[in-house]
Structure 1
Amino acid sequence: MAELVAKQQTNSLSIIESVDIGAVQSTLAKINQFQVVVQNTLKANHDYGVIPGTQKPTLLKPGAEKIQMLLGVTSEYEVIERVQDYEKGFFAFTVRCIVYKNGMKITEGVGHCNTKEKKYINQDPYTLANTCLKMAKKRAQIDATLTLASLSEIFTQDIEDMQEFVQTEQVETMTAQDAAQIKLTFGKYKGKTLKEIYKTQPDYLEWLLKQDRTDPVIKKGIELMFEAVKQQAQQKQVQQQQPEQQTAQPEPQPDNIDPFDGEVIEISDDDLPFGM
C-alpha cells in the first residue's frame, strides 16, 4: 500500500515537473481575461438568467452559442441513449455534444431529457419525443460550453427551479403539433387539449391570448396553432386558384382575411394542420 502511494506521488511530481509554469500562468491570465469579456458581453435574462438567492447565474442557449462563436469552435451531436416506450408513453434521450476547433476535438458535454420531467405533466407524452430530443441537445451544448470556456465558476446549468426559463425552453422548441396537445388545467375546459378547444370554440382561445395572466407557454401554443391554420388556408386558396387562372382571372381577395371570422363549424382531424 505504501509503495502504491509513493508511486502515485512520484507520478504527480513528474507531471508537475514537466509543466511550463510560465505557459500555465499565461493561460490562466487569458482565462481570466476571457471570463471578463464574457461577463461584459452576455445579456441578463437572454444569454443567462439569475435565480434570486443563488451565487451563480444560469447559462442559457443563446449565451452558449455566443461563447462558441467567440472561440471559433463547432459542435457535433450524438444520441448516446434513447428510450422510446410507446406502450407506457415514456421517452428519454441522452445526447453528447462534441466541440471541435479546426477539426480537432476540444471537449464534450452531455445532456438528458425525458417526458416525466415536471414541465411536461400537462402534455401528451406521445407528442413530446422530438421536444425532449431538442432539450437534451441544448443541455449537452451548454454543458460542453461551460467546460470549454472554463466558465463553471461563473455560470451554472441548474435551471429546474427557474420557472420562467423552463417556459423559455418549452417555447423555443414548441411546434404547432406540440401546442395542439397542451391540456388546460383551469376553467370550463379543464382537462381539454388546445386542439379539442379549437375544434369547438376557437374564440375562447382568442380570449385567452388577450389575458395578461395566461401562461406564456399556452399563449405561444395558441399563436402557433392559429398561424398553422392560416398558412394552411392560404395554401388551399392558392391550389384552388391555379386551375381557374387558365380560363379566368380570380376575383381579388382582401389582404386582411381572417380565417376565424364567421360561423363556427365542426372541424375534422383531417382539416387541422397540427395532426393527431
Structure 2
Amino acid sequence: MNQVVQFQPAVENYGQRSLTAADVRAQVNLMQDVMKEVMQDGTHYGTIPGTKSKSLYKAGAEKLMATFRLAGDPEVEDLSRDGEVHYRVKVRLTSMSGAFIGAGIGECSSQEDKYAWRLAVCPEEFDATPENRRRVKFSKYQGKVEQKKQVRTNPADVANTILKMAKKRGQVDAVITCTAASDLFTQDIEDLPEEVIAEIVGQQRAKPAAVAVQQATPQDSPERDAAIAECKAAAAKGTEHFRSFWTDFPANDRALVRDRMQDFKDTAASADQMLEDAK
C-alpha cells in the first residue's frame, strides 16, 4: 500500500521550539529523496575522484532552495583594486514570509589562476605578449608533464564572471549551512586548481581496461578523432553540459581522450564566460 507523505513544512514553521529527532530525520530524508529522484550526478552535484564527499553545484543549491522554499538576497562587497576585480558576496536566505534563516559567504578574484591566465591563441600571440604578461605553465597528467603557453587575461573581460562566481559560492555556502547538509555535500572542491585537487585526493590509477584501450588505439585513429570531436562539441556548451555529457560517455571512449581533458575544460570555461557575458 502506498504511504501518504506529508508535504515538508517551511523551515520557519517550526517556530521557536527545538527540532525533534523526527523533524531532523524528515529533513534529511527529504534531501535524500530529492537527490535520488530529482538531482542528477554531474549536473546538480558531483563527486571528485578519490573523495567520498559530494560537491554541491549551483544548480543543486537552487533545487534545495526550491525544496525548502528559500529565497536568496545577495549583498555585494567590492574589494577591487588596480589590476584586480575582486568581490565578496554574502547571501542571506529567507523564508517565503521574509523571515531570516541564515547566510553564507563567497569570494572570487581575477587573481585566481584560472581567471588570471588563458591559453595563447597561437604561438605568435605568445611571442608578441610582454614577458611579464605571459608564462609557460607546467602540469602533470597520468605521469606525463605538459607545457602550456598562457597569457594574462584582461580583468575587465572576466568581471561579470567573477561577480557571478562569488555569488554562487556564497549561495552554495548558505544552502549547505541553512539546510544542515554538510554531511551530504561539500563545496568549492571543483573550484580548486587541478594540482591542488590531485594533492588532496592523490593520483588515481587508471583502470586496466582503460589502459588496454589506450595502448591498443593509435593516437591518430578514427575512433579517437570521433571521441575528441564529441567531447569538444559538448565542452563548447559549457561546464555543466560537459559534466553531464562526460557522465554518460562510454568508458572506452573516455580512455581514448583522457589526455585531452584539460583542453576540454579550457573550452568549457571559455563557453561559460561567453554565456555569462551574454546575460
TM-score by length of 1: 0.51
Q: Is the 8 A contact 1:60 1:142 kept in 2?
A: yes
Output the CA distance in 1 between the equivalents of 2:190 and 2:100: 28
Corresponding residue number in structure 2 for 1:180 = none
How far does residue 93 in structure 1 lie from its aligned partner after superposition? 0.5
Corresponding residue number in structure 1 for 2:103 = 108
Task: Note the 1:1-276 alignment, pairs <5 A.
Answer: 23-40=19-36, 41-79=38-76, 81-86=77-82, 89-101=83-95, 102-120=97-115, 121-122=117-118, 123-157=153-187, 158-161=189-192, 171=238, 214-218=263-267, 221=270
Q: 1:222 to 1:132 in 2, by over 3 A?
A: closer
Q: 1:220 to 1:134 in 2, by over 3 A?
A: closer
Q: 1:39 to 1:136 in 2, by over 3 A?
A: same
> Which ranges of 4 or more aligned residues in structure 1 deviate by more than 4 Å?
170-173, 211-214, 219-225
How far does residue 128 in structure 1 lie from its aligned partner after superposition? 1.8
Q: Is the 8 A contact 1:171 1:217 kept in 2?
A: no
How far does residue 42 in structure 1 lie from its aligned partner after superposition? 1.4
How far does residue 223 in structure 1 lie from its aligned partner after superposition? 11
> What is the percent sequence identity of the aligned residues?
28
Output the CA distance in 2 between the equivalents of 1:223 and 1:95: 20
Normalized per residue, the structure richer in strand is: 2
How far does residue 62 in structure 1 lie from its aligned partner after superposition? 0.6
- Coordinate RMSD, CA, aligned: 3.5
Encode CA deviations 1:226-264: one digit per residue, 9 max, x unaligned: x9xxxxxxxxxxxxxxxxxxxxxxxxxxxxxxxxxxxxx
Letter in 1 for 2:183: E
Output the CA distance in 1 between the equivalents of 2:268 and 2:52: 32
Corresponding residue number in structure 1 for 2:246 = none
Larger radius of gyration: 1
Name the SS for the 1:42 alignment partner. Answer: coil
Name the SS for the 2:180 alignment partner. Answer: coil
Letter in 2 for 1:36: Q
Output the CA distance in 1 between the equivalents of 2:80 and 2:261: 37
Q: What stretches of structure 1 of length at least 5 have no aligned partner? A: 1-18, 174-210, 228-273
Q: Is the 8 A contact 1:48 1:63 kept in 2?
A: yes
Letter in 2 for 1:126: A
Number of residue-to-residue matches in the alignment: 164
Output the CA distance in 2 between the equivalents of 1:51 and 1:223: 20
Letter in 1 for 2:90: R
Output the CA distance in 2 between the equivalents of 1:98 and 1:69: 15
TM-score by length of 2: 0.51
